[in-house]
Amino acid sequence: MHEYSIVGALIEQCEQHAVANDATKVTRVAIKVGILSGVEPALLETAFQTFKLESICREAAFEMQIQPLVLSCLACGKQTTDNERSVVCSHCQSNHTQVIDGEDLLLMQLELE
């Protein structure tokens, strides 16, 4: 499960921000998970809840926004937003598309005390 290593890196990033801002704890962690990020949200949630106990995030609420796939079709010029993991244009069925959003896993907000 690569979600464990992702959560390890996320908690490390939270700790770095806390140290840089003279904080003693993290109270909220908000992330955005793209549907094409390759991350399983339920496993990520479980991993965070498990690993936070040994870190500065032990009391942190964990918020996850699932980012749908946003495609721009290079054939018909339309932009679509979809919760499916398909890079085929829903308008013209072309696979000549560009992913605009939905591939990333990003730390969006962090609340510190």
Is 14 annotated among the ligand-binding residues?
no
Residue type, 80: T
| C-alpha span between 27 and 40 (Å, rounded) | 23
Residue type, 3: E
SS3 (DSSP) at 80: strand
Is 76 annotated among the ligand-binding residues?
yes
In this structure, the strands spanning 61-67 and 26-34 are parallel
Annotated binding site, which residues? 2, 73, 76, 89, 92
Annotated binding site for Zn(2+), which residues? 73, 76, 89, 92
Annotated binding site for Ni(2+), which residues? 2
